[in-house]
Every structure is written in C-alpha cells, then in structure tokens.
Amino acid sequence: MARTVASYYRGSESLSGVQVTVEAGRAPQVEGDTRSPLSAGQVDPLCAASLAMPGDPRRITSPMRREGGALRPCTWDEALDTAGAGLRAAKDAGGPGAIGLYAGAELAAHPLACLRAAAFATGQGTRHLYTPLVMHGAARLLAAEWVTGAPMPLQADVGRAHYAVLLGADQERAGWGPFQSGSIHTQAMLYFHKRRKENKLVTVDNRRSGLSARAEQHVNIRPGTEAFFLLGMANAILLKGWTDEQYLRDYAKNVERLREWLTPWDVARCGEICGVDPGDISGVALKFSRAAMGVVALGHGATQSRYGGVAAWAWLVVHALTANLLRPGGLYEAKGAVDLHPIAASFPSAGAPRTREGGLPSLLLQAPGTALAGEILSPGDGQLRALISVGGCPVSELPDPATTTRALSSLDCLIAMDVLESPTTALAQVVLPARHFWERRDLMLLNHSALPSRMIQATEAVLPAPETARDEADVLAELYARVPAGLRLGGAWGRHITLAGRALATADLDVWVDRALEWSKLPDRASLEARGGPLELGEHDRASWRVTFDDGRLDLAPDALSSVMTTLRPPEADPTRPYRLATTAAWPGGHGRALRAADAEEPGVLAHPDCGLKDGATVLVETANGQVRGRLRLSADLRPDTILVPWGWAVPANELVGLSSIDPLTGAPDQEGLPCALRAV
C-alpha cells in the first residue's frame, strides 16, 4: 500500500519541501510541497536522484575491519571494539591531540551528528575537528565576525534590492544561492522587477549565462580576482565621497585606517587585475551607492581563492560604506528558526585553537579541512595519528588527493563511516555503514542559508534503513564511550567547553533538541512531526542590528587583516601557463562525489573557441600542482583566457589544486584563478 510522507531534501542548501510517495516494488515518486516557504513547490533537480542513492551498488552493507590487508565483514561490536582500541592506543601514545575527526559535507545536513562530532572533539580535548566548510562559507562567516563580532551568516536581500550585483559564480548553472531558478528569492526578484523599473541586476563572472542575458549589465571578470573588483568598488565609493556619512558616523569605526588600506586599490589598477574596463568597476560602484537599496550576492567563486578572506571582508565594506549592511534590501542577519547568534558569538575564532602550520583559525569549533593532511604528516607535539571520518570523503572533497591519500595511509588508525564506498573507506582499518538521510527521522534546525522565510520542519524516515546501518550521531556516542576522557579538564578548548562537550558526547540529544525548541518558543519535536509538513514562522526581521563589540559599532578595518592588507599583492602571471583556472561546480552535477541527476552530462574541460583546439579533442590541463586529461568542450560564453574544470566530476579538478597555496586568513584552497596551460594530447 502506498504512503506519502511530507519531507524535505537535505542534499543541498535548497532544502526543497517535498511529498514523497513510497510503494512496495516501485521507485519512490517525489513532488514539490507548495506549503514550503523556501521552495514554494519547486524541487531540487537532484532530489529524485538522491532517492535512488540508498540502493546504489556501492552501498556499504556491513561493518568491516581490516584483516590481513583486506576489509572483511564483521559484527558491529567487533568493529566498534577494534575502532575503540585504535583510538585509545593513539591517545595513550600522543595524548588527546593525537585523535581527531573529519566531518564531511554530507554531515552538514544532519544537525544532531554535527553536534555530536563537536562534542566528541571538545569532550576529548582535541582541536582536530576538520570539515570542508573552508571550501564553501568559511570566509563569509569569518568576515562577519571581523566586522560585526559574531560569525553569523549574512543573507543578500535580492528580492527587495533596487540594484543587485551577482559576483563570483553563475548561480543558475551552479545550482546554489538566492538566484536559483524557481527559488523564493528569484520569484520575489522577478515580482519586484515587474513592479518597478529601477530593480536592476548586474552579473560579474567569467562566464555568460541565462541570468547574464536578462541582466542590465554583464562584467566579464578574470577568475580569482573578485576581491580586487570589490576593493576597486570600495575605493571609488570611499575616496569619491559616495558614502552614507551619517551611517558611518553613527555605526562604524576605523574608517581612516580603511581609507589607508583602500588608497592603493584604485579602479584603474583593479580593472587591470580583473581584466575589465575600469569604468565598469566605477560605474557599478556609483549605481550601487546611489540605489535606495543595493546588495551584492557573493558567489562561492569569489571566496575560493587565496584572496577569499579579503573578498569576503571587502564585500561587507562596500555594503557598510553605502548603508546597506544589516538593513532591508542589503545584507541582513539570517537567524533561522532557532537563533544561534548567542552560541556563535560565544566561540570567536580569535580565541580558538589554531593549526600547527600556518596558524589557521578554527571557525565555530571547526578547523579548515585543508590543514588535515599537514597535521597528519608533520611530526611533533599534537601530531594527528588516529582519525574518524564521518559523512564524507576527504580524498574526494579536498584538494590534492594524492597528498591526502598519503596522509590517511600513514595513520595508525582510520575509521570511516559513510553510506557508500569511497577512496577514504578503501584506506580505513574500520568501515561503518551509515544511514542515508532519507532513512532517518530529522529536524530542520540549521536552515540559515535557505531564506528569506523562517521555517522549521520535522520529518519521519521516508525509506526503510538496512538493519546493518546506524545513525552517525549514535555511533559517535558509542565510539566516545570506548575512549576514556580522563579527569583532566581544559585540553584545547578550556574547562567550560570541555565540560559541555563531555555532557553532550553521550547524552540523549532528543532531550536537548526539545530544550532548544522550548528556548526558541517553538513546538516540541513530537508536535512538529505530527504536523506532517513545514511550520512557517514568517520572514526575518531584516533590520536586526546585533553588533557584539562593546561600542556597538561595525569594525571596517579589523586588526585581523592588518598584516594582509598592508602586504597585499595582486596575482602574478605565469608566461608558461597563460590561462586562468576556474573550478566552480556545474549543475546538475550533484552534491559530492556520488550524487548525479539522471540526465547529467559530464562537462569535461571547457574553453573559449579562441583556444585554437577542436571541440571534442582530448586535452591536458596543467597547473603548478598537477595535470588532468579530459574531453574539450568549446563555449563562446566563457571568457577567452579562462579554462573551466568543474569540481566534482570525472575530470578531477581537485588534482589541479594544491594544499600549499591557500588563503592565509581562512585556509581556503586556491581553486579560482590559478595559472594553467591547455594543450591537445
């Protein structure tokens, strides 16, 4: 007998509300849920594909442990005992800092497992909790902390803005952010565009798109130079007097130091760096500053480079200079259904542990995944010797897979918990089968990126889980119980955080969820589940002003950037590698290494027809970090000096990106703008 479950898609930030009909012997059928204020009946293209993922031939169907060099099935008790013994041995030899976790991209859709991973690390006193956040939103969160005092997500209010600039990616083609086709943001933008002619859109990217054709202006920028486009905008706005003086006088500080930092970056210099007409930068800056409400929607491409931290900071600066920061129609704080601001403000990166090499900051307890291999391979006090990888594959998700593979292979103990087999599970001593997100009951607690509407939704399991699969949150609790934390408090995080971690590492998290819901004046979990759909909480207060510095002012020139801004240099050209690499994800490619839409076509290597090579030829793309082969596809939409190798497809873009060239502020890899060469094979 068929049953229909109201649920939501957790494979991307869209969080599409769906109605899934399940009937024995038939593939699940999915339709959009028109009650969802986030997706309004639209369905993420990958949602249907994800429903087939639990039956993938690569599904891990049993716990396994390595015996005689090979992984062999075993019982859960045997697997957990083996894993616990490995973790204890590493901790006995090297202290708490010898053990750690890698929480992968897929874990971001599982709030309770995220909480358990953080509790495991803080309770044990280790600073080794690595995530791929640095590949995505870390720069924006850190910039928010530098300027406002707390690492809270700031959302572009594109629906209300009179002048909107899309910088750093083609959101329609990449499938993310407020300009996704069919999203509630796009519907709002089109609605206001029809009502008033002054609602304008500008796209700034290295590739033309459907959005570019509908935009008032397209600026064809060189990849990896978005930070300098924003610096040029900020320079023009501040030095030409296009600022909102009352806003700066009442709400900002360090404006004179900001003036010193911006003076070298005039539009002529920035235009040359970006490969655009300087008039385009000053023109966008003027229209932006003169608009009643202006916003820049910052794409992933703008922060996926060694200048990503500067780009994210300059992004906030151009909004502050024009009174578009923390206000409607500009950037506003995204609170979500459960307000996490008090928690986020309690974990400033300035006081958090840093990596041994490079001194990279931990953000919201998370160390940058790009530091993982170095922390394993570099000997000395605090060297990582045992790792739990859960909900992801560091070999596939991080740059330089060869170095990551070498690092993981050298560990004394590697435990991998995942839904599907991967290059990481192939290296592990213990492999544990996880439940897919369609196989677990869930609660939407972390929805800050999928706004403007506030909502919360509980869902039952849509598909039955295999008897052998377990929830990551439960397994992390069992592993923690097998590694005595000892009596010593403090460790890497201090007494209070360590005590909180120990309490949550093995606690019944459902009790804590209900406490959080009560604190947020929301119904308890049972009531939310009984609704059979989303609970809409209305739109956000876009005028919320929560600056946590003692004086309540925005810090436009924070101390954290002093050394970088006084020594900042533009990217250098390499005559032997005349092109610039872009790796922005292509849609509908899927979320991560395993998920693909049914009709997805491999993008291969994309180049402009002026490259002189034939469409369909086998080509070699080379950077200083490595080289890959792929099939060439010519596109006149692409900037002529740009080579696009989308991340996450058959042509392994991560082999072109190294771990040595990273953003010194955030640890983000240099994915955009690397000099590269292209030749036929």
**For position 198, what pLDDT does the model report?**
59
Burial of 154 by CB count in 10 Å (0-12 exposed, 13-18 middle, 19+ buried)?
buried
| DSSP code string of 599-628 | T-----EEE-GGG---TT-EEEEE-SS-EE
Question: pLDDT-based confidence at 137, cuts 50/70/90?
Answer: confident
What are 220's two structure tokens? Answer: 């064809």
| Per-residue pLDDT tens over the stretch 323-343 | 999 999 899 987 778 888 888
Most confident of 83-97, 169-183, 434-448: 83-97
State yes or no: pLDDT of 122 exceeds 90.
Answer: yes
- Helical pair 226-239 and 278-290, crossing angle rounded to 10 deg: 60
State yes or no: pLDDT of 153 exceeds 90.
Answer: no
The Cα–Cα gap between 651 and 148 comes to 40
Out of 11-20, 95-104, 202-211, pick the least confident.
Answer: 11-20
The amino acid present at 461, given as its one-letter code, is A
Strand partners, 431: 64, 416
DSSP assignment, residue 549? S
**For position 496, what pLDDT does the model report?**
85
Structural contact between residues 676 and 658, judged by C-beta atoms closer than 8 angstroms: no
- Helical pair 111-124 and 472-481, crossing angle rounded to 10 deg: 20
**For position 177, what pLDDT does the model report?**
45
**For position 186, what pLDDT does the model report?**
52
Burial of 249 by CB count in 10 Å (0-12 exposed, 13-18 middle, 19+ buried)?
exposed
- Mean pLDDT on 493-519: 89
Q: Please enumerate in sequence order all residues whose Cβ is within 8 A of that of 612, keeping only pairs 6 or more positions apart, or say none.
A: none
In a 13 Å sphere around the CA of 655, the CA atoms on its Cβ side amount to 14
- Mean pLDDT on 613-637: 96
The amino acid present at 412, given as its one-letter code, is D
User: CA 314, 317, 320: angle at the middle one, nearest 5?
Assistant: 160
State yes or no: pLDDT of 142 exceeds 70.
Answer: yes
The Cα–Cα gap between 317 and 277 comes to 22
For residue 370, give the nearest of 621, 657, 648 by alpha carbon: 657
State yes or no: pLDDT of 174 exceeds 60.
Answer: no
How large is the C-alpha radius of gyration of the chain?
24
* Residue 429 backbone dihedrals phi, psi, to 5 degrees: -85, -30
Question: pLDDT-based confidence at 357, cuts 50/70/90?
Answer: confident
3 state DSSP class of 339: coil
3-state helix, strand, coil split of the chain in percent (to 5) is 35, 20, 45
Structural contact between residues 652 and 289, judged by C-beta atoms closer than 8 angstroms: no
Percent of the chain, pLDDT > 70?
A: 92
The Cα–Cα gap between 481 and 129 comes to 18
Strands 99-103 and 386-390: parallel
| DSSP code string of 435-496 | PPGGGS-EE----TTS-SEEEE-EE--SSPPPTT-B-HHHHHHHHHHTS---S---TTT-HH
State yes or no: pLDDT of 5 exceeds 70.
Answer: yes
The Cα–Cα gap between 155 and 330 comes to 8
DSSP assignment, residue 308? H
State yes or no: pLDDT of 286 exceeds 50.
Answer: yes
| Per-residue pLDDT tens over the stretch 362-393 | 999 999 999 999 999 999 999 999 999 999 99
Question: pLDDT-based confidence at 171, cuts 50/70/90?
Answer: low
Question: pLDDT-based confidence at 190, cuts 50/70/90?
Answer: low
Hey, how many other C-beta atoms are within 10 angstroms of the C-beta on 511? 9
Structural contact between residues 23 and 17, judged by C-beta atoms closer than 8 angstroms: no
Place of tokens 């041995």: 89
For residue 366, give the nearest of 385, 352, 382 by alpha carbon: 352
Q: Please enumerate in sequence order all residues whose Cβ is within 8 A of that of 163, keeping only pairs 6 or more positions apart, or say none.
A: 198, 200, 202, 287, 288, 291, 293, 294, 295
Structural contact between residues 38 and 31, judged by C-beta atoms closer than 8 angstroms: no
State yes or no: pLDDT of 172 exceeds 80.
Answer: no
Query: Can you give the pTM of this predicted structure?
Result: 0.94
**For position 184, what pLDDT does the model report?**
46
3 state DSSP class of 420: strand
- Mean pLDDT on 284-291: 97
